Structure 1
Amino acid sequence: MSRPRVGIITNQNVVDNQYRTHSGGVMNTQAVAEVSGCMPLLIPADPRFVSVEELLESFDGFVLTGGRPNVHPEEYGEAPTEAHGAFDRNRDAITLPLVRACVERGQPFLGICRGFQEVAVAMGSTLHPEIREIPGRLNHRMPPDGTIEEKFALRHKVTFTEGGVFHQLMGAQEVMTNTLHGQGVTRPGKRFRIDGYAPDETPEAAYVDGAKGFTLSVQWHPEYNAAADPVSRPLFESFGDAARAWAEGRMARPVLQSA
């Protein structure tokens, strides 16, 4: 039997200041292929080239990857400022309706970093452009210097809701994660159920309440060292199971709801 097809959302980049690309990190494709057991395929996140309807019919699940551009604040009712940084309205135009459609259909997706924020916004949440500026918050941004290993090193704890979705999945209520983000969720939408927090109360893990399928999202980057990391591996394995269930024509069983 062929592997389930997982669409990996790409980001726009410019090579040598002139050649535009849609690209995705090898870490994402490796995690999907080797840990989820699915076929990774890159999606150009631009409505000029693909439609949400086509994507839903072509793939068994989606990975909403991280990326430097932020979700445009107009998507959650706020005006853009210099602090919001760069934007990618084409990606917004694909991912936000894609998330809503997947929630409605029960089609699985995994949100990572910017993907976590996309799910949050799609479900009615708001974001703060620079979470470290809020009194009492940590600096969650990527270290400016160092090797890849140093940039993706485990930097803080995440505490899950006791008995909740992530606690059950991980088999632990407290885990260590990396952190490489600037923005953060400030006011969660009604269905965007936060299930894990950093020590400074920054939301780090969530799912869509009442969704028919797999909707787990995390603010950290589990694709790094996914096969060996005890936090990343169950996340990608369970996502792969959900994609296989969808590929076999069965609705993935709803994510367990905490009491």
Structure 2
Amino acid sequence: MADSDLSMILPRVLIVSRRTVRKNKFVDFVGEYHLDLIVNYGAVPVIVPRVSGLHMLLESFEPIHGVLLCEGEDIDPSLYDAELAGFSAEELEEIRNVHASDTAIDREKDTIELRLAKLCLERNIPYLGICRGSQVLNVACGGTLYQDVEKELSKKIPEEQRVVHMDYDNYDGHRHVVKVVEDTPLHQWFKDSLEENKMEIMVNSYHHQGVKKLAQRFVPMAFAPDGLIEGFYDPDTYNPEEGKFIMGLQFHPERMRHQDSDDFDYPGCPAAYKEFAKAVIAYEKKLNSSERVQKAPKLNQELETKRNVIVRSFSIAKNMYSSGGGKISGQESELEVGAEFLQASTALSLQQENRLKQMGATVRNASAYRERLKVNEERERLARAIMGKMSISKLSDLMSFYHMMGKICSEAIEGKLQDRVNEEIEF
């Protein structure tokens, strides 16, 4: 199969873009690391642009086999915390100044991503949330967020436990430690890199918000020293081989790479994308399988009426052949099978319905057709009797006359057809 055909058969992963200003106009983008990993593991990334009103058009992106949410500004606090965490106006202004690139709320992006997250939860579509995407998932399930980790969390704990979650001067190089929870997918992915009895890895992150109250359905997979949850998943919907995957990671495994290299810090870094893609592929196969094996729809009143008409036609046909009127050898058994088929509560395909309508119409018109046959047979008998009494000379003149009339008819038909062609060309 040609490479150009692959997009027609590979499962689709929706990724919502982030909007920014470049050259005095808005542009949409998605980080290439996410796209590369999705493609490398056998799926096709479908970028959903952040466009006003798009949240009403998400069904246009069907079929959806997976959703990856990964970048963007702060989620609108009113979606999870009506009290705005008790911040004063001065504190809110300070947060906006320190995190100017992230605190500009994008309500359209919030709406698009929350609808996608809830769609995944309703249909069990595989979902992977990275950074903001993990926060969207938690909010979609009723969880809450710290609006600013430093002000709400870090200042309340001993200094040795405080964590720098964002370094604006060193996005890619910044690391902080997290402790991995045993018997979780994260533990499985990084187990070969964990020191004995330590269960710690160094992760890349840049965020000033994070999970405050984890939604009830989720289980933590990692914690930062300040207690912030750095990863979580739904154990009841985690089985990549069966197309089940609902997970959020606050840190960025896709960016945990050696300086000036694409080599990862740990072999387990790309595992989230690998297992997510595995679930997406399995979900796509399961979805296609269920679509191929559909239950026969129940007939509505209109279809039921049509079916009864066709059944009656077969009944007439069966009686006709059974009575010996025009009986054709070997056909009666086929009619019986057809009648039994039609008596079942099965919706007919359009082709079946049209074919059976034709057969029914033929049967219903059979008596008139047979009358016409009798008339034609009588006319032929009379013609033979008359011509049998004609001389050879008269028969020859009659044959010449009909030959000439046939030629004139052919010429007239050809002329009319040519006139029609000319009219169509002019039109």
Check whether TM > 0.5.
yes
How far off its partner does 1:27 sit? 1.8
Alpha-carbon separation, structure 1, partners of 2:285 and 2:63? 14
Contact 1:45/1:95 (CA < 8 Å) preserved in 2? no
Distance 1:56 1:232, change over 3 A: farther
Equivalent residue in structure 2 for 1:151, among 163, 171, 174 = 171
Equivalent residue in structure 2 for 1:180, among 206, 211, 217 = 206
Report the equivalent of 2:76: 72
- If the length of structure 2 is used for normalisation, what is the TM-score? 0.53
Gaps of 5+ in 2: 1-5, 85-91, 97-102, 239-243, 289-427
Alpha-carbon separation, structure 2, partners of 1:55 and 1:71? 25
SS of residue matched to 2:215: coil
Contact 1:123/1:192 (CA < 8 Å) preserved in 2? no
* Bigger radius of gyration among the two: 2
Aligned: 1:22 with 2:28? yes
Q: Which amino acid aligns with 1:236?
A: Y
How far off its partner does 1:22 sit? 2.0
Higher relative contact order (CA 8 A, sep 6+): 1
Q: Which moved more, 1:162-171 or 1:173-182?
A: 162-171
Q: Which amino acid aligns with 1:72?
A: D
Alpha-carbon separation, structure 1, partners of 2:202 and 2:163? 15
Distance 1:40 1:118, change over 3 A: same
Equivalent residue in structure 2 for 1:189, among 215, 237, 254 = 215
Contact 1:103/1:211 (CA < 8 Å) preserved in 2? no
Aligned pair count reads: 243
Once the two structures are superposed, the pairs formed by residues 95-174 of structure 1 within 5 Å of their partners are 95-133=113-151, 134=153, 135=155, 136=157, 137-141=162-166, 143-145=167-169, 150-153=170-173, 155-171=175-191, 172=194, 173-174=199-200
Contact 1:8/1:62 (CA < 8 Å) preserved in 2? yes
Q: Which string of whole-angstrom CA distances, capped at 9 and with x for unpartnered residues, describes residues 110-168 of structure 1?
A: 10111111111111111112212222331201x232xxxx5222512222221123212
RMSD of equivalent CA atoms: 2.4
Q: Which amino acid aligns with 1:59?
A: I
Distance 1:52 1:79, change over 3 A: farther
Q: Which amino acid aligns with 2:168?
A: P
Q: Which string of whole-angstrom CA distances, capped at 9 and with x for unpartnered residues, describes residues 81-101 of structure 1?
A: 443621111111111122122
Report the equivalent of 2:46: 41
Report the equivalent of 2:63: 58
Aligned: 1:242 with 2:279? yes
Higher helix fraction (1 or 2):
2
Would you identify which runs of 4 or more consecutive aligned residues in structure 1 move more than 4 Å?
Answer: none
Distance 1:244 1:186, change over 3 A: same
SS of residue matched to 1:204: strand
- If the length of structure 1 is used for normalisation, what is the TM-score? 0.84
Contact 1:7/1:42 (CA < 8 Å) preserved in 2? yes
Higher strand fraction (1 or 2):
1
